[in-house]
């Protein structure tokens, strides 16, 4: 895919992980750097994620300093199914953050992936990035030039907005690179030790603003309703308004809502990934659930009622007027003498 919104000169940026320790992000910004990719962590073969201990600090600190921010996940993923699990966990970890750059799969471990075919390597990456895209984020693929030339079918990834490529020979070496990591030994004010240096060749923040909006469907407050779950074996729930942000349990399997009722806070003003969706309270946390009639349903919450003692006692005409007024407010009136 040809680059969209090319920029010249390219914007300078960095990428960081635990190995850079505490980063002074205001100093990085003051030194003229425009963006940062922050390591989310790494994904094991089964899709489980070990979070980088500096992820939260870096993603919030870089954004607060005024840099455009994206994240990357280093991959050991070994199948398409496990790629989808890794994507779901990624979305869960990103639920509380706003990104202005892509969510990147760092796919470069040649000792592992040289044993896979080009088709399998490409399918793993596509499975991960498709889940990320459906959740409303801009996905991107990262690797180095000799890896993609040897182990990937890049034409099958062409529908995504460019590529983040590493090449330290003084040239990019592939077509349509949106970001070039041109050095692994940079010196950046505010960053301890060596730091990767990058150049951005297209306006990725603009692409994100225009085309990628996680949770774009608005949720409107809803009172007097509850979600009734009657099949606990099937009722998944989500950390964000996307069916790809599914909550996983400690065993790496999809977690489910137990049978019971849950207070509804809001209802999606439209379909989310093809389903009606509600925002509910579960375990003291705000989560999301899709309404499917084979596992859960929306129902009226118990009517707590309101007792009014009217003095003097209203006559029949007054009672009719009171009933009419109450019905106009959406509830009924019952008189007990």
Stated pTM of the model = 0.69
Span 322-335, average pLDDT: 60
123 and 86 Cβ atoms separated by less than 8 Å: no
What pLDDT was estimated at residue 326? 59
What pLDDT was estimated at residue 182? 97
28 and 16 Cβ atoms separated by less than 8 Å: no
What per-residue string of b and e applies to 117-154 under the rule 16 or more CB within 10 Å gives b? eeebbbbbbbbbbbbbbebbbbbbbbbbbebbeebbbb
Tell me the per-residue pLDDT of 99-108, one tens digit each, with 9 for 90 and over: 999 999 999 9
The partner residues of 41 in beta bridges, in order of sequence, read: 51, 73
Tell me the per-residue pLDDT of 281-308, one tens digit each, with 9 for 90 and over: 998 888 999 999 899 999 988 765 555 5
| Cα 10 to Cα 28: distance, rounded to the nearest angstrom | 17
268 and 278 Cβ atoms separated by less than 8 Å: yes
The partner residues of 279 in beta bridges, in order of sequence, read: 266, 288
Residue 118 has pLDDT above 80, yes or no: yes
- What token pair was written down for 127? 């499975």
Tell me the per-residue pLDDT of 138-177, one tens digit each, with 9 for 90 and over: 999 999 999 999 999 988 886 777 799 999 999 998 888 9
Residue 331 has pLDDT above 60, yes or no: no
Tell me the per-residue pLDDT of 41-54, one tens digit each, with 9 for 90 and over: 999 999 999 999 99
- What token pair was written down for 203? 């306006």
What pLDDT was estimated at residue 269? 81
Residue 134 has pLDDT above 90, yes or no: no
| Cα 7 to Cα 30: distance, rounded to the nearest angstrom | 21
pLDDT tier, 178 (very low <50, low <70, confident <90, very high otherwise): very high
Residue 311 has pLDDT above 60, yes or no: no
Q: Whose CA is closest to 118, among 159, 155, 81?
A: 155
Q: Whose CA is closest to 4, among 108, 159, 109?
A: 159
Which residues does 330 contact at the CB level (< 8 Å), separation at least 6? none
């Amino acid at each position: 895919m040809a680059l969209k919104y090319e920029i010249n000169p390219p914007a300078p940026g960095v990428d960081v992980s635990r190995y850079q320790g505490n980063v002074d992000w205001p100093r990085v910004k003051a030194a003229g750097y425009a963006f940062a990719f922050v390591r989310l962590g790494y994904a094991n073969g089964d899709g489980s994620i070990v979070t980088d201990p500096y992820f939260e600090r870096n993603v919030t600190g870089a954004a607060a300093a005024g840099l455009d921010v994206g994240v990357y996940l280093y991959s050991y993923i070994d199948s398409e199914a496990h790629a989808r699990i890794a994507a779901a966990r990624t979305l869960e970890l990103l639920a509380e953050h706003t990104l202005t750059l892509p969510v990147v799969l760092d796919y470069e471990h040649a000792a592992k992936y040289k044993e896979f075919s080009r088709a399998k390597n490409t399918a793993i990456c596509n499975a991960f990035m498709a889940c990320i895209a459906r959740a409303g984020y801009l996905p991107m693929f990262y690797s180095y030039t000799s890896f993609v030339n040897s182990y990937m079918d890049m034409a099958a990834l062409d529908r995504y907005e460019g590529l983040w490529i590493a090449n330290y020979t003084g040239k990019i070496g592939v077509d349509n690179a949106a970001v070039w990591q041109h050095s692994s030994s940079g010196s950046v004010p505010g960053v301890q030790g060596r730091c990767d240096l990058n150049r951005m060749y297209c306006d990725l923040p603009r692409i994100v603003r225009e085309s990628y909006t996680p949770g774009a469907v608005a949720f409107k407050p809803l009172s007097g309703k509850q979600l009734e779950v009657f099949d606990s074996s099937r009722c998944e729930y989500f950390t964000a308004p996307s069916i790809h942000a599914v909550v996983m349990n400690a065993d790496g399997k999809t977690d489910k809502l137990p049978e019971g009722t849950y207070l509804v806070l809001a209802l999606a003003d439209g379909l989310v990934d093809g389903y009606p969706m509600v925002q509910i309270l579960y375990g003291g946390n705000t989560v999301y659930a899709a309404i499917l009639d084979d596992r859960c349903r929306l129902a009226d919450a118990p009517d707590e009622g309101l007792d009014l003692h009217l003095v003097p006692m209203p006559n029949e005409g007054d009672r009719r007027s009171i009933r009419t007024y109450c019905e106009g407010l959406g509830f009924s009136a019952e008189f007990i003498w």
